[in-house]
Amino acid sequence: MYKKENNMKIFILFILLCLSMLQADTILLENKKPIQNVVITRETFTQIRYYYEKIGPNSPQTIDRLKTAVIGIDRSEIPMEYQVAEQYYENGSLQEALKSYQREAQQRKWTHQHCLYKIGLCYLEMGNYREANKEFNKLKKSIPDSVYKADIEMNLGICAMNMNRSAQAVRYFNNAIKLYNTIHSWNQVEEASFQLAQSYELSKNYNEAIKIYTNISKNKKLDKAFLQKIVLKLGSCYIKNNNFQDAKKIFIQLLQNQTGEDKETLSVIYVNLGNCYLQEEKIEDALLCFLRVITIYTPTQIDGKEAYSQAIKCFNLLKNENPLYGRRAIELRLEMEQKYP
């Protein structure tokens, strides 16, 4: 472990040596030439303040982030502790990254807001939602106009959802959507809307969830995998809202677009489609759906267990027509108990 950490520090020193050759900070802009040879004095959600290095502080400049999309900043001077923390974070060594960010945050340099945000992220990725919630709120109060203002609201919403505080989550995601809209960050608007719909679903407000999922699904520019995820959620909400007809249409349409390779998604579709047929009292059609999941596809534990339970239910409903079905129901129950103890 010591050797690995030592090698990492040597690597960081090399990076710092290279960075020290740079003249000053550089601001990277979307579809525009970068602004080079500057010194950044303040970075907030709405602005970046800087001056040209050669002219000095007597040349104050401002970039309005609401009008100009900033895609990144290259700093000429990066503290070693921050570089070490970033490397640990990139490598997934979250505990080590957390310690380094905490040490660097105490220095109160330009890295301060970045460290506070990353501390929250480390806790979030470790699944410690209470600590993550505490850290994001600390940053929100101490630096209200942090560059991470919208992301903080988004992450507070994720923490609230994981702590089963759906009403709080709704508020946070709505705040995030408004902030992302102000800086025209459309991908994040869609992601925050998706999270908002999930929080409504969690609170069993299926009408609101359906409205948002439907809205997002109309965006043809969405990534195909993300779009499929939204449509699956929409179908699931229809079922929870007892709208089985619309749910069935969605799942049949999804089946037509499948290649057969994504066996986990096919499991989700067939479990839900089976539930729609069961509601319509098309027991044999429902049974075929559940058996496909059990024998052909690769379900998650939740979907696998539901497929078994529902198949057993179908066999019991049909056992008067065929006595063998009663025996098959008993066999499946034993199978289920072994597979999902």
HSE value, Cβ hemisphere, 13 Å, CA-based, for 67 = 5
229-260 per-residue burial string, b: 16 or more CB within 10 A, e: under 16: ebbbbbbbbbbebeebebbbebbeebeeeeee
pLDDT of residue 2: 39
List CB contacts of 31: < 8 A, sequence separation 6 or more.
Answer: 69
Query: What residues does 42 pair with on adjacent strands?
Result: 49
Res 222: pLDDT: 86
User: Which pTM does this prediction carry?
Assistant: 0.82
Low-confidence residues of the chain: pLDDT under 70: 1-23
End-to-end CA distance of the chain: 39
In order of their start, the domains of the chain are 181-257 (1.25.40.10), 258-341 (1.25.40)
**CB neighbours of residue 109 within 10 Å:** 15
Distance of CA 195 to the CA centre of its chain: 8
Q: List the strands of the sheet with 60-64, edge to edge.
A: 60-64, 47-52, 35-43, 25-29, 70-74
The 3-state DSSP class for residue 51 equals strand
pLDDT at 259: 78
Q: What is the pLDDT of residue 3?
A: 44
So what's the pLDDT on residue 1? 43
| Model pLDDT, residue 47 | 95
Q: What share of the chain is helix, strand, coil (3-state, %, to 5)?
A: 65, 10, 25
User: How big is the chain by its Cα radius of gyration, in Å?
Assistant: 26
Decide the pairing of beta strands 25-29 and 60-64: unpaired
Residue 23 confidence (pLDDT): 56
Give the pLDDT score at 22. Answer: 46
Q: Helix 283-295 vs helix 263-279: angle between axes, to the nearest 10 degrees?
A: 160
**Closest-CA residue to 70 (of 113, 37, 38, 35):** 35
- Identity of the amino acid at 233: K
Distances in Å between the Cα of 163 and the Cα atoms of 169, 302, 321 are 9, 20, 48
